[in-house]
Amino acid sequence: MAILGELGTEILIPVCGVVGIVFAVAQWFIVSKVKVTPGAASAAGGGKNGYGDYLIEEEEGLNDHNVVVKCAEIQTAISEGATSFLFTMYQYVGMFMVVFAAVIFVFLGSIEGFSTKGQPCTYSTGTCKPALYTALFSTASFLLGAITSLVSGFLGMKIATYANARTTLEARKGVGKAFITAFRSGAVMGFLLSSSGLVVLYITINVFKMYYGDDWEGLFESITGYGLGGSSMALFGRVGGGIYTKAADVGADLVGKVERNIPEDDPRNPA
């Protein structure tokens, strides 16, 4: 006997996705409280009188104007560079999506000669939906999975560049402060991406089910395109991002060597 009935499962899955998204937004809000702009904004922080922590930080040099401004400049440069890279890569990825979607449709649709007639099911005695429609839905789910993966990659990049300067500024107050800022930022990415993927997949299955009905074989054959699209775009992001990161790393080493006479991979070069 199942612990949850069909109705309970239908409710639990989207609720889990929504809870994950809300939790991710809450973590992002906490990270955003770390200000990267100098000024009296820190004075609103926590001491007993509202200014105690701010005065202590001023005395210890934690609110140095030049340091905060420099962190903000570096964060802006990193964010602009990462965004430019992603949009450039997405142009080529978009062409791959269109071509591969056409290949999926042609290969799957040609199984039964692009027939629009129902076919005998493989694992049951009933009649399944035509192969042509399964090819069409598989192509649609592939594109949907690819778009979900691309959006997830963009959001992950944005929160990573959003948190880097904040983690640096918090590191001046101790390892614990820096760790919790980085950890919360990672939680934003993890919960947001997995929850959004779950919600989109849940909606896709229910939309496809309106056509397939009790044809579970055809339904889940077509929905497999979602995973293929998501993993394909993740592969592009992983390989392309790795190449871009290594190029930036080598460039930073060379700049340090030429401008500051610091050897490559020297610990004095923060890059």
Interval 81-93: pLDDT, tens = 888 888 888 898 9
Q: What pLDDT, on a 0 to 100 scale, did the predictor assign at position 146? A: 93
User: Which pair of structure tokens corresponds to residue 58?
Assistant: 């001023």
Cα distance between the two ends of the chain: 57
Residue 138: predicted pLDDT: 92
**The predicted structure's pLDDT at residue 270:** 64
What pLDDT is attached to residue 218? 83
Q: Is 17 exposed, middle or buried (0-12, 13-18, 19+ CB in 10 A)?
A: buried
Look at residue 42 in the predicted model and tell me its pLDDT. Answer: 47
Indicate the helix (H) or strand (E) that contains 213. none
Give pLDDT < 70 ranges for the chain.
1-2, 38-64, 122-125, 264-265, 269-271
Q: What φ, ψ does residue 256 adopt, rounded to 5°?
A: -65, -35
pLDDT at position 141? 94
- pLDDT the model gives residue 5: 75
pLDDT of residue 125: 67
- pLDDT at position 81 is 84
Residues 6+ apart with CB under 8 A from 30: 184
Name the β-bridge partners of 200.
Answer: none
